[in-house]
Amino acid sequence: MEDDRVWAFEKSLWTGDAEHYRHLIDEDCVMVVPTPPFVLQGSDAIDAVANTPQWANVDFSEGHIVRPQEGLIVVAYKAEAHRNGTNYEAHCTSTYRRLGHDEWRVVQHQQTPPLRTKMEADAS
């Protein structure tokens, strides 16, 4: 999968509906998310994220794509997502494995929101 398609695939995971999301996540996926229970696997990971509202828009920056071996893609990036006046920012990674020609599934995803300094927290 070329780079433009990788970023379109990743963006679709943020902005697509639950059915689209379920179709692209592997049943053995492992996720680390910023809310309890934090570490999720398999159907628990798929259900947890598929049941959250989709984002209206997401922008990526600081993007990196590596292909450590045939049939495996790893992406890392900063995401800035928006919906109905809600903003979300995180540094993320995703790993895809190829199941067949043009058929990819997410096997790993992680989100780390930026740390807030004490000064930022006190100003809130």
Q: Where are the domains of the chain?
A: 3-116
pLDDT single digits (tens) 114-124 = 986 545 555 55
67 band by pLDDT with thresholds 50, 70 and 90: very high
Which of these, 63, 44, 52, lies nearest to 6 by C-alpha position?
Answer: 63
Are the C-beta atoms of residues 14 and 55 closer than 8 Å to each other? yes
3 state SS for 33-94 = CCCCCCEEEHHHHHHHHHCCCCCCEEEEEEEEEEEEECCEEEEEEEEEEEECCEEEEEEEEE
d(CA 11, CA 102): 17
pLDDT single digits (tens) 81-104 = 999 999 999 999 999 999 999 899
Reported pTM: 0.87
pLDDT single digits (tens) 35-57 = 889 999 988 888 887 778 789 99
Fold of 3-116: Nuclear Transport Factor 2; Chain: A, (3.10.450)
